[in-house]
Amino acid sequence: MNDIIVAKFGGSSLADSQQFAKVKKIIESDNRRRYIIPSAPGKRDKKDHKITDLLYMCQQLAAHNLSFDDIYNIVKKRFLDICSDLNLSFGMEDILDEIKEKIAHGASRDYAASRGEYLNGLILSNYLGYEFIDAEELILFDKTGKFDAKATDDKVNARLADVSHAVIPGFYGVMPNGEIKTFSRGGSDITGAIIAKGVMAQLYENWTDVSGFLMADPRIVKDSKPMEKVTYKELRELSYMGASVLHEEAIFPTREAGIPINIKNTNAPEDAGTMILSDISPVSHTGTITGIAGKKDFTVISIEKTFMGSDRSFFRKLMTIMETNDISVEHMPSSIDSISLIISDSELNSKLQKVVEEIRIYCNPDSIICYPNMALVAVVGRGMINTKGISAKVFTALAKEGINIRMITQGSSELNIIIGIENGDFERAIKAIYEAFQ
């Protein structure tokens, strides 16, 4: 590991000149913060627009030969205001006009969207006095549009070897034919992780507008505490069950390289935030949980068949039905003569009847019953490994609330307990479990 911090600042951290000033102060307070990844300006308040959204709109209007002057003027004013507030003059207006011309003359959707990060990167590099390195130089996609991790890693390594401090815009890179290609929405997180891996940084800081991940959804648990530490594995469990602050794909490069991520708040830089740590780091919080997440709207298909296990082809047939109907199964708790398939309604779409019919024909069960409107709650924490009493606490809390538990699974990693309940009990269950661990 090198004595380097890669710091990514999200859209709300760079939404206006006041936010830029906070960001500068943060960067300059630690000289290890050498490579800075900006997003495009985000919303300044609830009613405001993200620059990226406006740029997508401009491109769409232009593609239909409609005027996009009004919307582009909003974009332009936003960037020019930031420059004038910060006393920067480096020809921003000309650059903005050139981009407008390109959009008017058929520039791609990805090109248009990427300009938010490009322009914000130019401003930040001028403001900090750091070199500007265009993401086009570093982040490489192959000709099919797939991110090329190996080529990018080599490029980042070589290009940044002699650069002490630089600003590199997030969210996009380039294909071999020179076309700009963006990651999916929120993709500046990914750029930051890639750069952190490329320079083998000791830390990847992800600056946003919250002081880390919260233990539970704040819409359900008011004043939920933040998580101090969470491992990559725990975070995966939580994020696939609905919790999110960071782009999912951003986790992979740093996880692979063993680089921790610190989620920090630009508006409260002294807060510790959440540290995402490697899976092997020591457990400092035994006997408690790390977080709670969950999702509503699952259907359970419960299948009974006596001597299910002695029919060697039973499970294969069942899974083939799921595969041919392109349905991914979330969980499959089983007993000696029964198995339940828990499937998200968004996966199932309108295929339920067809699937049940096929199970009837191919698997010949004694009975099939479907239970709609189910929710899953995941209680996640490495602290529960080898600790007695965690599940007792969870189930007692639910019993006290009068919540009927319809299903329980615990992953063999002992990292989580997943509980199936009815949709209507979802919020109450999360609150009750959270309270039990305070």
Tell me how far, at minimum, the Cβ of 71 lies from ligand ASP, in Å: 16
Contact (CB, 8 A) for 13 and 22: yes
Cβ closer to ligand ASP: 54 or 433? Answer: 54
Cβ closer to ligand ASP: 231 or 239? Answer: 239
**CA 229 from centroid of its chain's CA atoms:** 17
Among 13, 19, 188, 206, binds ligand ASP (CB under 6 A): 188
Cβ closer to ligand ASP: 55 or 86? Answer: 55
Which region among 100-108, 149-157, 186-194, 268-276 touches ligand ASP (by CB under 6 A)? 186-194
Site string for ligand ASP, 28-47 (x = CB under 6 A): -----------xx-------
Which region among 101-109, 180-188, 252-260, 282-290 touches ligand ASP (by CB under 6 A)? 180-188
**CA 438 from centroid of its chain's CA atoms:** 27
Cβ closer to ligand ASP: 54 or 230? Answer: 54
How many CB atoms neighbour CB 101 within 10 A? 10
**Which position has the token pair 């035994």?**
286
List all residues 6 or more positions away from 372 whose beta carbon is below 8 Å from its beta carbon. 299, 345
Cβ closer to ligand ASP: 170 or 383? Answer: 170
**Which position has the token pair 């985000």?**
42
Site string for ligand ASP, 153-172 (x = CB under 6 A): -----------------xx-
List all residues 6 or more positions away from 320 whose beta carbon is below 8 Å from its beta carbon. 362
Structure tokens at 58: 């401009």
Does position 52 bind ligand ASP by CB under 6 A? yes
Structure tokens at 412: 């063999």
Site string for ligand ASP, 82-121 (x = CB under 6 A): ----------------------------------x-----
Distance of alpha carbon 7 from alpha carbon 26, whole angstroms: 10
Size of the site for ligand ASP (CB under 6 A): 13
Does position 186 bind ligand ASP by CB under 6 A? yes
How many CB atoms neighbour CB 230 within 10 A? 27
Helix (H, G, I), strand (E, B) or coil at 312: coil
Q: Buried b vs exposed e over 343-366: b needs ≥16 C-beta within 10 Å? A: bbbebbeeebeebbebbeeebebe
Which region among 185-193, 253-261, 268-276, 286-294 touches ligand ASP (by CB under 6 A)? 185-193
Does position 187 bind ligand ASP by CB under 6 A? yes
Does position 58 bind ligand ASP by CB under 6 A? no
The alpha carbon torsion through 241, 244, 247, 248 (nearest 10 deg) reads -20
Tell me how far, at minimum, the Cβ of 170 lies from ligand ASP, in Å: 6
Cβ closer to ligand ASP: 191 or 409? Answer: 191
Distance of alpha carbon 240 from alpha carbon 261, whole angstroms: 18
Binding footprint of ligand ASP on the chain (CB under 6 A) = 11, 39-40, 50, 52, 116, 170-171, 185-189
